[in-house]
Amino acid sequence: MCLLLATKFADALTTGIGLTYVPGVHESNPVVAPIFKEVGVTEGLLFGSFAIVVGIVAVTEIGALVIARRRRNGHLAPVVRAVGYGLPSLLFAFVAVRNAAVLLEAIEVAGVF
């Protein structure tokens, strides 16, 4: 779960910096873009990130609990957790790295460094 929180934080942080400070950067996710326009980037990221993490934790833990109850030895529950937390973490890490690349490109184009 720590990896999930860390990668989602990195995703939200790089998204927020890009949308707030880099001209020409836009949100490419069609689900959250209207939310950012309606409530603002910071509020949208805080609410959205919280909701996404809570949803992932709920689905993963319920899935692990169901598997543990159906199988007496419960040996598949850790697999459910590894997949339930691991796949979203990989996605969030990928998005954060991509966002960082966009930020670095914008800095390079602006001639800051």
CB-based contact 60:80 (threshold 8 Å):
yes
Per-residue pLDDT tens digits for 17-49: 999 998 888 898 899 999 999 999 999 999 999
Domain ranges of the chain: 2-110
CA–CA distance, 26 with 46 (Å, rounded to integer): 17
CB-based contact 10:93 (threshold 8 Å):
yes
Tokens 């914008």 label which residue?
106
pTM of the model: 0.88
Per-residue pLDDT tens digits for 41-79: 999 999 999 999 999 999 999 999 999 988 777 789 999
CA–CA distance, 21 with 74 (Å, rounded to integer): 48
